[in-house]
């Protein structure tokens, strides 16, 4: 088969169906996943995007002999509808709390005796169990022994080869040994001899190594096998230098070939008790274990430990927020000056200049995700991404939404701000102010330690609900420490299951990002990162509060001040006073003059107290 044999999604879909017939498969399940249950994928495992043409980060593609559907949530409905046009794949609008919808769709369409195929190496054990629960009663068989993408994808990208490096010691306050000891303590509590870890951010955190195998996230492809005394890191040959290998060995971590993961699991003692997390391990990994092994299913202990940042971690994050805030001030000063001069500024220009401003700051490594610069109607697409072929020029009247972030050695940032351009309508001002009220409401909240994080969602939505507004995405996600910009275990979303591991604990960093989206018109989202910190002691138990970490002015020009109550206005003024005091010293001098904007003057203007009626 030549490289151009299947140049379009429709042709690729036809090739998949032919492969399905050849392998006696009636339906194919293709999630957005890899052997590590990652959100952001190396190109080798971006099969759903390659086959469908839809390049959003989340979605499940299901193909039968006669039909095909792609399930995505509301963040991607407009994008998916455009990108799926002519592919033969139907857009299936996934509603909150209905993650099993594609499984129910299959159960209704496949008859008894049919076979659903998938690659067991990219389907989590938890999802495989749910597939079994939905399909087995209908007499549908599951088969995960073959990856049909290998059959129809002749120029499939190879695995990434970026070298690994150590997270600089200046940003660490404990050793690898201490982190592994935490894992072994959990293993002892569970009565297990071994622990299997495949999630990349957990492995990077435990080994204190970083890489560049996944865009924007400083992680690397690896598996980790931990026993009571030692550990084995499975990573591709050539990615780990001798010095790092020696440092790992000194901490009791041997190195093995990434390709040997499942073979080595097959050599475990048949009477072993193995700790594994079904949501964070694939079915293929589970099937590699010998018969007789006792799997002990529990939440992965390193995920919670990683999510709870230490005081030293938070100190580094605060410094990073000052550097990131200084970069943002320089960028916004340039943006306003460029627009005032009548220069041509596009959504692509925004990304270019903002990335350059961050790159000038010490400790910057990369963006933490693809910048979302979205003007007017494009802002109504929560995960919009401008391209050279399709982007808007910032001109006329409207709202410019900018969602961006950076990876620094001392932390990961994620921030959304909205800039008014020209004259705004009263409807835009009210939407903006309602969103701001939601951001402030959750930012000011105190809550019991251990409360399930999904239960906090209503606090941010209440000011929007009160006026009949809402948004289709979650309000908050965890954020890593120079790791993934989306990190568990906590998530602030009413439709997320309130499981014990979602409990809010001190040190967690979470985004607060309510929004309003009007298709074809505009979108508004105001996002800060906040850390869980102890609140004042109470006779009713331990309480937490949010410390706002992000340092960047929230534009006051679009605010309808009449809609803010005095406490909300006081919060905003206090926040701006802190932003001004902490960023001003980093903006003095000529270091940022190349951006052709007076960043310090911009900061002072944008942090001025509200003019109240």
Residue range of the domain that includes 239 = 165-299
Query: What rounded mean pLDDT belongs to the chain?
Result: 95
> Which tens digit of pLDDT belongs to each residue from 580-607?
999 999 997 645 555 666 899 999 999 9
CATH number, domain containing residue 200? 3.40.350.10
Our count of domains for the chain comes to: 3
Q: Does 94 map to a domain? A: yes
User: Do residues 380 and 334 share a domain?
Assistant: yes
Q: What is the pTM of this model?
A: 0.95
- Asked if residues 302 and 206 have their Cβ atoms less than 8 Å apart, the reply is yes
Which of 299, 322, 342 lies at the terminal end of a domain, its last residue?
299
CATH number, domain containing residue 332? 3.90.230.10
User: Do residues 474 and 511 share a domain?
Assistant: yes
**What pLDDT is stored for residue 2 in this prediction?**
39
Question: Residue 505, Cβ neighbours under 10 Å: how many?
Answer: 16
CA distances 197 to 249, 266, 364, Å, are 18, 15, 29
Angle at 507 between CA 539 and CA 475, to 5 degrees: 95
Which of 299, 327, 351 lies at the terminal end of a domain, its last residue?
299
Q: How far is Cα 335 from Cα 147, in angstroms, rounded to an integer?
A: 48
- Asked if residues 318 and 549 have their Cβ atoms less than 8 Å apart, the reply is yes
Residue 4 has pLDDT above 60, yes or no: no
What DSSP character marks residue 215?
T
Phi and psi at 391, nearest 5°, equal -160, 165
By the 10 Å C-beta count (0-12 exposed, 13-18 middle, 19+ buried), 561 is classed as: middle
User: Do residues 450 and 497 share a domain?
Assistant: yes
Residue 611 has pLDDT above 50, yes or no: yes
Closest to 23 measured CA to CA, from 99, 117, 137, 120: 117
Averaged pLDDT for residues 286-296 = 96
Q: How far is Cα 170 from Cα 168, in angstroms, rounded to an integer?
A: 5
32 pLDDT tier (thresholds 50, 70, 90): very high
Helix (H, G, I), strand (E, B), or coil: what is residue 242?
Answer: helix
> Which tens digit of pLDDT belongs to each residue from 115-134?
999 999 999 999 999 999 99
539's tokens: 């006779």
User: Do residues 278 and 381 share a domain?
Assistant: no
Q: Which helix (H) or strand (E) holds 407?
A: strand 406-408
> Which tens digit of pLDDT belongs to each residue from 49-89?
999 999 988 899 999 999 999 999 888 888 899 899 999 99
User: Do residues 368 and 492 share a domain?
Assistant: yes
67's tokens: 């039909």
Q: Does 159 map to a domain? A: no
User: Do residues 246 and 317 share a domain?
Assistant: no
User: Do residues 479 and 589 share a domain?
Assistant: yes
Averaged pLDDT for residues 163-167 = 98
**What pLDDT is stored for residue 1 in this prediction?**
36
98 pLDDT tier (thresholds 50, 70, 90): confident
Q: Does 157 map to a domain? A: no
Closest to 99 measured CA to CA, from 77, 75, 127, 120: 127
**What pLDDT is stored for residue 592 in this prediction?**
52
**What pLDDT is stored for residue 97 in this prediction?**
80
User: Do residues 441 and 564 share a domain?
Assistant: yes
Q: Does 482 map to a domain? A: yes
User: Do residues 363 and 432 share a domain?
Assistant: yes
Averaged pLDDT for residues 145-153 = 94
Helix (H, G, I), strand (E, B), or coil: what is residue 412?
Answer: strand
Averaged pLDDT for residues 336-362 = 96
> Which tens digit of pLDDT belongs to each residue from 245-276?
999 999 999 999 999 999 999 999 999 999 99
Angle at 461 between CA 460 and CA 464, to 5 degrees: 120
Q: Does 109 map to a domain? A: yes
**What pLDDT is stored for residue 305 in this prediction?**
96
**What pLDDT is stored for residue 593 in this prediction?**
54
Averaged pLDDT for residues 507-513 = 98
- Give, to the nearest 10 degrees, the angle between helix 426-443 and helix 457-465: 150
User: Do residues 245 and 327 share a domain?
Assistant: no
User: Do residues 177 and 135 share a domain?
Assistant: no
User: Do residues 325 and 453 share a domain?
Assistant: yes
What DSSP character marks residue 564?
S
Q: Does 160 map to a domain? A: no
Catalogue the E-assigned strands of 470-537.
476-478, 487-492, 509-512, 515-518, 522-525, 528-534
- Pairing type for strands 406-408 and 411-412 reads antiparallel
Q: Does 597 map to a domain? A: yes
- Asked if residues 196 and 287 have their Cβ atoms less than 8 Å apart, the reply is no
Residue 179 has pLDDT above 70, yes or no: yes
452's tokens: 């399930």
360 pLDDT tier (thresholds 50, 70, 90): very high
Which of 282, 299, 316 lies at the terminal end of a domain, its last residue?
299
> Which tens digit of pLDDT belongs to each residue from 480-504?
999 999 998 999 999 998 888 899 9
Q: How far is Cα 532 from Cα 548, in angstroms, rounded to an integer?
A: 9
Q: Does 3 map to a domain? A: no
Please indicate whether residue 222 or residue 536 has the higher confidence score (pLDDT).
222
> Which tens digit of pLDDT belongs to each residue from 223-253?
999 999 999 999 999 999 999 999 999 999 9
Averaged pLDDT for residues 13-17 = 96
Residue 426 has pLDDT above 50, yes or no: yes
- Asked if residues 468 and 498 have their Cβ atoms less than 8 Å apart, the reply is no
């Amino acid at each position: 088969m030549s490289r151009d044999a299947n140049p379009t999604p429709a042709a690729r879909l036809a090739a998949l169906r032919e492969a399905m017939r050849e392998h006696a498969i009636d339906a194919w399940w293709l999630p957005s996943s890899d052997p590590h249950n990652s959100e952001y994928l190396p190109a080798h495992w971006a099969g759903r995007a390659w086959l469908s043409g839809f390049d959003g980060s989340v979605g499940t593609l299901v193909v039968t002999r006669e039909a095909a559907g792609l399930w995505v949530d509301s963040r991607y409905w407009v994008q998916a509808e455009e990108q799926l046009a002519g592919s033969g794949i139907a857009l299936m609008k996934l509603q909150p709390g209905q993650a099993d919808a594609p499984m129910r769709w299959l159960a209704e369409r496949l008859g008894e005796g049919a076979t659903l195929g998938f690659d067991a190496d990219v389907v989590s054990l938890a999802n495989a169990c749910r597939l079994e629960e939905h399909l087995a009663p209908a007499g549908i068989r599951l088969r995960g022994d073959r990856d049909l993408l290998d059959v129809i994808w002749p120029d499939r990208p190879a695995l990434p080869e970026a070298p690994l490096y150590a997270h600089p010691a200046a940003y660490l306050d404990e050793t690898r040994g201490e982190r592994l000891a935490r894992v072994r303590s959990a293993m002892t509590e569970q009565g297990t001899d071994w622990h299997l870890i495949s999630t990349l951010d957990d492995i990077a955190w435990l080994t204190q190594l970083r890489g560049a195998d996944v865009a924007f996230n400083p992680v690397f492809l690896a598996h980790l096998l931990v026993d009571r005394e030692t550990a084995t890191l499975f990573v591709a040959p050539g990615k780990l230098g001798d010095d790092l290998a020696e440092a790992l060995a000194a901490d009791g971590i041997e190195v093995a070939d990434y390709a040997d993961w499942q073979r080595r699991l097959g050599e475990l003692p048949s009477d072993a008790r193995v700790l594994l997390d079904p949501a964070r391990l694939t079915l293929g990994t589970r099937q590699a274990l010998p018969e007789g092994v006792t799997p002990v299913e529990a939440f992965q202990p390193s995920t919670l430990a990683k999510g709870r940042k230490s005081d030293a971690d938070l100190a580094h994050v605060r410094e990073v927020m000052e550097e990131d805030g200084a970069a943002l001030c320089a960028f916004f000063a340039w943006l306003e000056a460029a627009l005032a001069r009548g220069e041509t500024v596009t959504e692509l220009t925004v990304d270019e200049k903002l990335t350059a401003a961050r790159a000038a700051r010490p400790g910057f490594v990369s963006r933490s995700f693809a910048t979302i610069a979205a003007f007017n109607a494009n802002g109504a697409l929560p995960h919009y991404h401008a391209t050279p072929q399709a982007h808007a020029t910032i001109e006329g009247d409207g709202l410019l939404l900018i969602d961006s972030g950076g990876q620094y050695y001392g932390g990961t940032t994620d921030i959304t701000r909205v800039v008014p351009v020209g004259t705004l309508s009263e409807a835009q001002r009210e939407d903006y102010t309602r969103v701001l009220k939601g951001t402030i409401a959750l930012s000011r909240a105190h809550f019991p330690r251990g409360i399930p994080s999904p239960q906090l969602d209503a606090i941010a939505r209440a000011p929007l609900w009160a006026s009949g507004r809402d948004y289709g995405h979650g309000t908050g996600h965890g954020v890593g420490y120079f790791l993934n910009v989306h990190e568990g275990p906590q998530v602030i979303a009413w439709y997320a299951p309130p499981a014990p591991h979602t409990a809010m604990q001190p040190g967690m960093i979470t985004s607060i990002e309510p929004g309003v989206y009007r298709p074809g018109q505009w979108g508004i989202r105001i996002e800060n990162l906040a850390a869980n910190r102890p609140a004042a002691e109470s006779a009713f138990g331990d309480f937490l509060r949010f410390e706002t970490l992000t340092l960047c002015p929230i534009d006051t020009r679009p605010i309808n001040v009449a809609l803010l109550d005095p406490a909300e206005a006081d919060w905003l003024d206090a926040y701006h006073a802190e932003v001004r005091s902490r960023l001003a010293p980093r903006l003095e001098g000529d270091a940022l003059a190349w951006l052709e904007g007076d960043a310090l003057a911009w900061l002072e203007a944008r942090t001025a107290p509200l003019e109240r009626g």
